[in-house]
Amino acid sequence: MNKTTKIYIAGHRGMVGSAIWRALETKGYNNLIGQSSKELDLRNQQAVHDFFDNEKPEVVIDAAARVGGILANNDFPYQFLMENMQIQNNLINASLKADVKKFIFLGSSCIYPKLAPQPLKEDYLLTSSLEPTNEWYAIAKITGVKACEAIRKQYGKDYISLMPTNLYGSFDNFDLKTSHVLPAMIRKFHDAKHSTVNGQQAPVTLWGSGTPMREFLHVDDMADAVVFALENQFQDNLYNVGTGTDLTIKELAEMIQRIVGHEGDIIWDSSKPDGTPRKLMDVSKMTSAGWQAKIGLEEGIKGTYQWFLENQDSFKEVKM
């Protein structure tokens, strides 16, 4: 690996992909390539293979995916299953055929069983049933992990999978129809702060009981982990990426409420699903490899809210 290595970042305009691009540029990598979804439809197998034939990347980072929260996964199960498999399968197969030396596949902690012991170890994959609210996305990502593992086993190539915990940060999705829990809370508390009910700031209604526990990783830390994986040889095929610490959804809500400056009530709608009771990553393999997260949650949320304030006029509602 050197600074002129040709690196293709799939999904380079998304939250994760753009953070990886910035991190690589900061370290001096100067041969980065990317294509927008309009320029290259990753669901189109022939188009992907033609792109690889023309560009001949040496390294591929797969940060492309159709993503969303519980609501989006529940409403569009087919798209979350099929489109994610199409995207990753096309990229993995094209990389194999083009003799790409290093491939980094990015997944999600939702690949692990709903009731797996905590913290989640890489060995728990496929040991029990998944969380029903996002199993479509999880199944797609599991196939990607296994495809990379199969290539590593059969062809001896350096194809690895990094499984991040819940990510947040600059360029996040704040559309309430499709966003994940942390950016959705930022948006809800911000909107309620600027609305009144009976002369007071509007209340915020949040799904579930607030008792589930979640872990959050800033996207810049995730990008740093990807760069670390690029520059080092890993012994295994699958690594968790996270902070190793978590908090309840209620604690998260109260932290975001304080940062945003919302002074209204929080209403918990217990008729809505909680999702997995707890989802804490065991990050000991990454720690042993020499990497750990650096950005604290409160610091990260403050920066994310500032980014939201500076860019909210440019947000577009996401259509499925």
Give the model's pLDDT for residue 315: 66
| Separation between Cα atoms, residue 216 and residue 182, nearest integer Å | 9
Residue 295 pLDDT > 70, yes or no?
yes
CATH of 7-314, picked from 3.40.640.10, 3.40.50.2300, 3.40.50.720, 3.40.50.970, is: 3.40.50.720
Other C-beta atoms closer than 10 Å to the C-beta of 121 total: 17
Residue 319 pLDDT > 50, yes or no?
no
Give the model's pLDDT for residue 134: 85
Residue 317 pLDDT > 70, yes or no?
no
258 marked ligand binding residue: no
207 marked ligand binding residue: yes
Chain segment 54-75, per-residue pLDDT in tens: 999 999 999 999 877 677 778 8
Chain segment 255-271, per-residue pLDDT in tens: 999 999 999 999 999 99
248-277 burial, b at 16+ Cβ within 10 Å, e below that, comes to ebbebbebbbebbebebebebeeeebebbe
Residue positions annotated with a catalytic role: 137
| Separation between Cα atoms, residue 145 and residue 310, nearest integer Å | 36
List the beta bridge partners of residue 279. 214
pTM of the model: 0.92
| Separation between Cα atoms, residue 223 and residue 219, nearest integer Å | 6
Task: Tell me the three state secondary structure of residue 276.
Answer: coil
Q: What is the DSSP letter of 115?
A: T
214 marked ligand binding residue: yes
108 marked ligand binding residue: yes
Residue 320 pLDDT > 70, yes or no?
no
Give the model's pLDDT for residue 175: 87
Measure Cα distances from 290 to 19, 130, 232, 245, 297 in Å. Answer: 21, 30, 10, 18, 21
Chain segment 65-111, per-residue pLDDT in tens: 987 767 777 888 999 999 999 999 999 999 999 999 999 999 999 89
102 marked ligand binding residue: no
Range 150-170 average pLDDT:
97
User: Is pLDDT larger for residue 131 or for residue 142?
Assistant: 142
Residue 167 pLDDT > 50, yes or no?
yes
